[in-house]
């Protein structure tokens, strides 16, 4: 956790020093529609979406009027649902996104996301079991989406996140990957 906090602080202060007036930041939260894919040994499956939440902070450092970088630190609930069973995973997610502003209202973003596992639970509807030892501690993904920035410092983001890492740590030959649809509402605390 200290490494994540240190990384975010480093990116924040680098942005202030290098980009000065092109720096802004805020908080965001919203809904995840999380799921997973399972593939291996001629087997492929994707259970149902599991609704969960995400929230955290973001910085935007613009190189020019149109191009910039947007690092974020978020808590993100992920996993999947199969019948009554729920696989509930919690991550600290750090996306580092290239941002392209079409105009003052609309922007697109894309880039890598590195996540650290904080919790893993299996809930069968009657009992809940800790399965953190069955899930790898990190996850690498790619994220892309769009943001609408409103004049009253509010913004709305839709993002798709596709897991690149196999998070299965059971020794099985079946690869397990996260994917996620995010809808966020953000509020800009400082900057233009």
* pLDDT, position 182: 98
d(CA 108, CA 129) in angstroms, rounded, equals: 39
Tokens of 119: 């919790």
2-190: CATH, from 2.40.160.20, 3.40.50.2300, 3.30.300.30, 2.60.120.200: 2.40.160.20
pTM as predicted: 0.86
pLDDT of 161-182, one tens digit each?
999 999 999 988 889 999 999 9
d(CA 29, CA 133) in angstroms, rounded, equals: 28
Residue with tokens 């750090």: 94
* pLDDT, position 21: 54
Mapping DSSP onto H, E and C, the string for 52-120 reads EEEEEEEEEEECCCCEEEEEEEEEEEEEEEECCEEEEEEEEEEEEEEEEECCCCEEEEEEEEEEEEEEE
pLDDT of 100-118, one tens digit each?
999 999 999 999 999 999 9
Q: Where are the domains of the chain?
A: 2-190
pLDDT of 62-86, one tens digit each?
999 999 999 999 999 999 998 889 9
């Amino acid at each position: 956790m200290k490494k994540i906090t240190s990384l975010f602080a480093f990116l924040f202060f680098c942005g202030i020093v290098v980009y000065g007036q092109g720096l802004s930041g805020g908080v965001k939260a919203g809904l995840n529609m999380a799921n997973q894919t399972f593939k291996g040994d001629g087997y492929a499956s994707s259970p149902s979406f599991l609704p969960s939440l995400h929230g955290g902070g973001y910085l935007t450092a613009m190189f020019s009027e149109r191009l910039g970088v947007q690092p974020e630190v978020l808590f993100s609930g992920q996993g999947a649902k199969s019948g009554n069973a729920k696989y509930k995973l919690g991550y600290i997610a750090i996306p580092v996104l290239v941002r392209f502003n079409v105009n003052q209202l609309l922007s697109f973003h894309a880039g890598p996301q590195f996540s650290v596992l904080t919790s893993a639970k299996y809930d069968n509807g009657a009992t809940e079991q800790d399965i953190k030892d069955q899930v790898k501690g990190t996850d690498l993904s790619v994220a892309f989406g769009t943001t609408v920035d409103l004049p009253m410092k509010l913004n709305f983001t839709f993002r798709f996140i596709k897991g690149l890492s196999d998070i299965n740590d059971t020794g099985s030959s079946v690869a397990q990957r996260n994917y996620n649809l995010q809808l966020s509402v953000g509020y800009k605390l400082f900057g233009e």
